Amino acid sequence: MNKELIKIFQKSLTPPPENSPSLIWEKILKREKRLARTRLSIFSIVGTVSFLGLIPIFKILLKDLAKSGFYEYLSIAFSNGGTLSLYWKELSFSLTEALPVISILETASLVFVFFLSLHYILKQIIRPTQQKSRLGQLSLSF
């Protein structure tokens, strides 16, 4: 390496502004805050929509269960112990067949989306609080 050239290059260096590190850190924190807020709003909307969607979907599920005769098979299972011990195989087949699969899947997926959103919402609320308390201790050492 040419030592003279190194000297020449380093002599003409432009130093950054003195507050440059704190400006960079502040920008990162601002961006993080904005991202957390955006995530929070998105997950809140998704959570609310899935929760509201659960009401009609659940009603449809109950209706489908009634229509398919599921309750009747279920009541047989609980009414007579002797019948159940004799025909438990047939009864369980009938019960399975009577399940409204599509309605159950719809309800389950909505419940899943709702809990997933709830999980992310809580994560967004808890994480910034933890970070804030840690950063408060540091109070920008620059």
Partner 1 sequence: MPSQKTDEEIIKLYQEGAPEIFQELIEKYHSQIFSFVARLTGVSNAQDLTQDIFIKVWKNLKKFDSQKASFQTWIFSIARNASFDFLKKKKSVLFSDLETGDEPDFTETIPDENLLPDEVLQKLQDSSLLNKLLDTLPIQQKTILILHYQEEITFAEIGKILGKPLNTVKSHHHRAILELRKKLN
- Contact predicate 121/47, CB 8 Å: yes
User: What is d(CA 67, CA 100) in angstroms, rounded to the nearest whole number?
Assistant: 9
- Contact predicate 112/45, CB 8 Å: no
Q: Does 2 bind partner 1 (CB under 8 A)?
A: yes
Using CB under 8 A, pick the residue from 27, 37, 63, 67 that binds partner 1. Answer: 27
Give the interface segment with partner 1, choosing from 15-23, 61-69, 85-93, 103-111 (CB under 8 A): 15-23
Q: Does 122 bind partner 1 (CB under 8 A)?
A: no
For 23, residues 6+ apart whose C-beta sits below 8 A from its C-beta are 17
Q: Does 132 bind partner 1 (CB under 8 A)?
A: no
Q: Does 37 bind partner 1 (CB under 8 A)?
A: no
Phi-psi region of 16 (alpha: psi -120 to 50; beta: other; left: phi over 0): beta
Sign (positive or negative) of CA dihedral 105, 111, 114, 116: negative
- Pull the structure tokens for residue 119: 């999980």
Q: Does 18 bind partner 1 (CB under 8 A)?
A: no
User: What is d(CA 107, CA 39) in angstroms, rounded to the nearest whole number?
Assistant: 24
Q: Does 131 bind partner 1 (CB under 8 A)?
A: yes
Q: Does 56 bind partner 1 (CB under 8 A)?
A: no
To partner 1, the closest distance from the beta carbon of 36 in angstroms equals 13
Q: Does 133 bind partner 1 (CB under 8 A)?
A: no
To partner 1, the closest distance from the beta carbon of 77 in angstroms equals 51
List residues binding partner 1 (CB under 8 A): 1-2, 4-6, 8-17, 20-21, 23-25, 27-28, 31, 131, 134-135, 138, 140-142
